[in-house]
Amino acid sequence: MKRRGRGIACMWYPVGYTVTANPSAAVVKMNEDGTATVLTGTVETGQGSLTVLGQIAAEELGVATDDVYVVSADTDATPADMGAIASRTTYVTGNAIRLAAGRAKAILFEAAAPLLGVKPDQLEARDRKIQVKGFPQRCLAIGEVANRAQVDMGQPAIGSASWNPPTVALDPETGQGKPFSTYVYATQIAEVDVDDETGEVEVLRIAAAHDCGTAINPMLVEGQIQGGISMGLGLALQEEILFDDAGRQLNPNLANYITPTSLDMPEIEVDIVDSYDPTGPFGAKGVGEPTSVPTAAAIVNAIHDAVGVRITSLPATAEKILAAIKAQRARATKRIPSIQHFDLGQGSSVRNA
């Protein structure tokens, strides 16, 4: 019979390397027509990071996402970056790009200030315009300003910068220190059906509430959460590299190493928790790795809630669950009712206990 259960798991996860410096550098160039090019040494590995980095540059320059083209991952053309690792791209590379874009923008402000009759610090870049703060009608098209900076002022609007998260080394004896600049938090709750005759688990739905600071692109955050859950589900129930006695892998292929397919995926309900980190670009932190962290724990807790067995080694395969259910039943049938339930002399005190 199928038994339903639910399980909760929360987590925390750091952004960036542990103590070690992990700088990112970036170059932002504004073209004479108000579009921009970003140079970054990070690599797009499928997560959509270049889109997010483009949005960060666009926001700082006051233009739209489409106005920015991101050039990446070429050691001859792009500056140093410690790479697509440790959930650091949005936070660390994003901060570098924001700083670099700010420096390019400062040149635009210098070019625009005399034309608008104000000081550079009274200007802001917004909606593809350089405008006077509080007087948005007093403005110039950003392309016109960029062109003037290059052609009249002789100073193309280019900025470069690097950023590294501040950390404090850990004491080797006590581990005390500041290993990371910031952390993200999340909770996932899973609902499962467990067949108590076969041990088979079906994950029905997962509610996932993740903190990533400001969501630079909520759609890509949701995508990361969905992908992370599929990976967590594989860790929880299916995936395992097996070895023979001589240390050789037994299942090095996708026929015998089972990963989740779309048919294994539960309904996923995503919430992005309101949060703002003052150290991140526009308040952003990161989301890549943490999305797969609490999934296995939530599923295993749901299995426990459904059939009362605690699986202490992953993956929680049907065989393991069924063996645990059988062991539990074997224990249950041996249990002899406690004698005190039948002790009439103590009856009233037992009821009160």
Partner 1 sequence: MTEDVKVVQTQTRTVQESLLETVSLRLPAVTPPVTYPIETLVPQTRQQTPAVGQRATRSDSRLHGLGQTKYIADLAFSGMLYAKIKRAGIASARIKNVDTRAAEAMPGVAAVLTGREIPVNSFGATFQDQPVLADERVFHAGDGVAAVAAVTEQIATEALEKIKVEYEPLPAIFDPLEGLKEDAPKVHPPHSNIYATKVIRKGDIEKGFAASDHVFESRFRTQMVEHVTLEPHAAIADWDPNGRLTVWSTLGRITLGRADLARTLKLPMNRIHVIATIVGGNFGGKNEITQEPVLALLSKKTGRPVKGVFTRGEEFMSTTTRHPFIMDYKTGVARDGRILARKVRLVLDGGAYCSFSETTLGKACILASGPYKIENLLVEAFAVYTNKTVAGAMRGFGAPQVCFAYESHMDDIAAALAMDPLDIRLLNAFDEGSASPTGQVLQSVVVKQSLLKAAERFGWKEAGQ
Q: Catalytic residue numbers?
A: 289
Least Cβ distance, residue 330 to partner 1 (angstroms)? 21
48 to 67, contacts with partner 1 by CB under 8 A?
48, 50-51, 54-56, 58-59, 62-66
Options 104, 145, 287, 297; binder of partner 1; rule CB under 8 A: 297
Closer by beta carbon to partner 1, 139 or else 153? 139
Query: With contacts defined by CB under 8 A, how many residues of the chain interact with partner 1?
Result: 130
x/- track of binding to partner 1 for residues 129-168 (CB under 8 A): ----------------------------------------
The token pair that represents 166 in the structure block: 């501040």
C-alpha to C-alpha distances, 80 to 39, 104, 132, 166, 327, nearest whole angstrom: 10, 19, 36, 18, 56
294 binds partner 1 (CB under 8 A): yes
Could you give the angle at the alpha carbon of 219 between the alpha carbons of 218 and 220, nearest 5°?
90
245 to 264, contacts with partner 1 by CB under 8 A?
246-249, 251-254, 257, 259
> Which of 103, 110, 97, 98 is CA-nearest to residue 154?
110
User: Tell me, what amino acid is at 64?
Assistant: A
- Give SS3 for 70: strand
73 binds partner 1 (CB under 8 A): yes
286 binds partner 1 (CB under 8 A): no
Residues ≥6 apart with Cβ < 8 Å to 223:
47, 48
298 binds partner 1 (CB under 8 A): yes
Residues ≥6 apart with Cβ < 8 Å to 259:
234, 238, 239
Least Cβ distance, residue 42 to partner 1 (angstroms)? 9
From CA 56, how far away is CA 101, in angstroms rounded? 9
Piece of 108-116, 122-130, 320-328, 331-339 that binds partner 1 (CB under 8 A): 122-130
179 to 238, contacts with partner 1 by CB under 8 A?
179-180, 182-183, 185-189, 191, 205, 207-211, 213-220, 228, 231-232, 234-235
C-alpha to C-alpha distances, 158 to 53, 76, 101, 107, 114, nearest whole angstrom: 17, 18, 8, 8, 20
